[in-house]
Amino acid sequence: MKKNKNPYSNSIIRWFTRILIEIFIRKLVGNIIDFVVSNHLPY
């Protein structure tokens, strides 16, 4: 492991990007499911 000057801010950035990616994936999956369901259900 390389010694980091500020590991605290680095971990915050990593945590923030992980949350953003999770939200993005969840929205993407939700949109795909909505699209498929609305296209393939008879009502």
Q: pLDDT per position in the chain (43 positions), as tens? A: 566 677 778 899 999 999 999 999 999 999 999 999 888 876 5
| Half-sphere exposure for 5 (CA within 13 Å, toward CB) | 0
pLDDT of residue 43: 57
pLDDT of residue 35: 92
pLDDT of residue 2: 65
Q: 């945590």: which residue's tokens? A: 15
Flag whether the pTM goes above 0.75.
no
pLDDT of residue 39: 85
pLDDT of residue 41: 72
Q: Alpha-carbon distance 43 to 32, whole Å? A: 18
